[in-house]
Amino acid sequence: MVKLFAKSAANAWRGIAFVWRRERNFRIQSSLAILLLIFAVTFRFSFVELIAVIFTCAAVLTAELLNTIVEEILDVIEPHYSVHVGRLKDVTAGVVLLLSLLALIIGALTIAHHFLSVLH
């Protein structure tokens, strides 16, 4: 049972490493998530603030992983340029963009709330 889990975990990490190597945006988003988590710990965010930061970072990174899955599948199904495939890729990229913007808003509000609470 433990060996099966270890093998599954190794496969999952290999998938994440593939996306890390291939997708510049995933590297940028991961780096920003790490910096934001360090910032949150350094400035002693509350438990709820920390959960908000972790959740939004995880949502953006998960969306980027799913976007890569869709792109890989579409490239296998239709290796040549297709307007339809291009639209599907644009939509999945839009999901990542929308979540990234939402994460930015949540992060900015969380940081503002934290520092306004500290000042009072």
**Gap between the Cα atoms of 117 and 8, Å rounded:** 43
**Gap between the Cα atoms of 55 and 5, Å rounded:** 24
What residue has token string 């792109």?
71
Better-predicted residue by pLDDT, 1 or 93: 93
**Gap between the Cα atoms of 41 and 6, Å rounded:** 30
- Cβ 71 vs Cβ 93: under 8 Å: no
**Gap between the Cα atoms of 89 and 68, Å rounded:** 9
What's the confidence (pLDDT) of residue 115? 87
What value, to the nearest 5°, has the Cα angle with vertex 24 and ends 11 and 43? 90
CA nearest neighbour of 58 among 108, 88, 16, 21: 16
Q: Using one digit for the tens of pLDDT, what is the confidence trace for 42-75?
A: 999 999 999 999 999 999 999 999 999 999 999 9
What's the confidence (pLDDT) of residue 118? 72
pTM, whole model, 2 decimals? 0.89
Tell me the helix, strand and coil percentages in the chain, rounded to 5. Answer: 90, 0, 10
What's the confidence (pLDDT) of residue 87? 96
CATH class (in words) of the domain with range 2-119:
mainly alpha
Q: Using one digit for the tens of pLDDT, what is the confidence trace for 69-118?
A: 999 999 999 999 899 999 999 999 999 999 999 999 999 999 998 888 77
Structural domain spans, the chain? 2-119
Q: Can you say whether the dihedral through the CA atoms of 49, 53, 54, 58 is positive or negative?
A: positive
What's the confidence (pLDDT) of residue 1? 85
